[in-house]
Structure 1
């Protein structure tokens, strides 16, 4: 019984603040807190009429879509290559690729600015944001695709080659259909990571806004339930994409 109480308190501590964010987004009171003053959708309507939110929303979607496509493509190629080398080399490469995930996001953001902006001369903007998001999302793509390739029957590819198929044709007709679900799942995870990022975007976006930087800007000037409405939209997008990725990639809690 005591463990159920502890588990309940733990879930309340972890999920309670998130639940309050969603609840307050529907409150009629202009101040975030109780009493809420009734139920309303006015704060969502306010966002619909806010051109600044429109711009930030479409910028975030563009970054997420670009990150998903590019991270999945390059991550798939890296995963296929890593499956052909020795286990020791694979572990070493994966450890190196995982560094952007393990390092503090602030360090990664500074490194991106130093490399792409100061070193390569690229201007701040959406392309640099996408490059930063790829850097963070790609290790997840590689692991997801490698997990699927580990269960892949290489004999089917060998059979296709024996029947006269070229390497490209064997990949397109045999390998790709069998790993397609993992690729879609990896793309959805990459999109969720991109949507959720704040630190890299705030350092590299330049004159525009993503959803996360837009919320930060609003919180510095005012604090009303429209911020909760934005957070709820972002929550639905990221959790929805992650849940869909798990379903599509048929992840069962083990590799």
Structure 2
């Protein structure tokens, strides 16, 4: 490849990356604008919109709800996902592949379809009152497969002989799990949990259909948009983005994901 072609491809790649990141940069920059209008050029700089966003009625409640949902989803998906991945790793390849395909169906379903289906299921079949419990159950439907996939990938190369040796030496199933298995797969477990938490944190569509009269940060931001657009919305969006990207990157770093 000639130098001209290399420069052209590098320039094209930089332009694509710039195009993808520019909306996020603009989002963050307008958080510090002193003007209520989201227009360029920016007339001045201020932290006023941070105080305005945090002082809005319902913001702290929505933030608390998001933390509750995220932590519950992360903990529950980690426990169930670890158990499921370990069970899948001991099955015959044909059976485990079939079950894995079944488990990942919610990932492939459009979020809008998933939200409507869950709303119908809760309201018509189970007659449940919508709220944070139904949101947590709904988020488990599409976060659980990611945890199972991450941990199952680690279990594929796991040496079960170490566990069998511990059992031969007198360790019970729980002792062998906590002393042998868990220390080896711990990075994948933690990473899978963080990825599940990130997915739960910024979900809007499924949450919108299953939360009832409460709010999380994404649905709270949607309510703000319906009343008008100002930089305080950018502050809430930036907070969601930082929390989501931070947990995802940390999770991928821990699991050493390269896909």
- TM value normalised by structure 1: 0.96
How far apart in 1 are the matches of 2:115 and 2:35? 37
Work out which of the residue numbers 112, 118, 121 in structure 2 matches 1:112.
Answer: 118
Query: For 1:158-197, what aligned pairs fall within 5 Å after superposition?
Result: 158-197=164-203
Alignment gaps of 5+ in structure 1: none
Question: Which position in structure 2 is the counterpart of 1:2?
Answer: 8
Question: Which position in structure 1 is the counterpart of 2:241?
Answer: 235
Shift of 1:69: 0.7
1:136 maps onto 2:161 in alignment: no
1:222 maps onto 2:222 in alignment: no
Question: Which position in structure 1 is the counterpart of 2:3?
Answer: none
Q: Is the 8 A contact 1:29 1:35 kept in 2?
A: no
Question: Which position in structure 2 is the counterpart of 1:210?
Answer: 216
Shift of 1:147: 1.4
Work out which of the residue numbers 21, 24, 45 in structure 2 matches 1:18.
Answer: 24
Shift of 1:244: 1.0
RMSD: 1.1
- Count of residue correspondences: 253
- TM value normalised by structure 2: 0.94
Shift of 1:90: 1.5
Q: Is the 8 A contact 1:25 1:228 kept in 2?
A: yes
1:102 maps onto 2:105 in alignment: no
Question: Which position in structure 1 is the counterpart of 2:130?
Answer: 124
Instruction: Tell me the SS of whatever aligns to 1:39.
Output: coil
Shift of 1:96: 1.2
Worse-matched range after superposition: 89-98 or 193-202 = 89-98
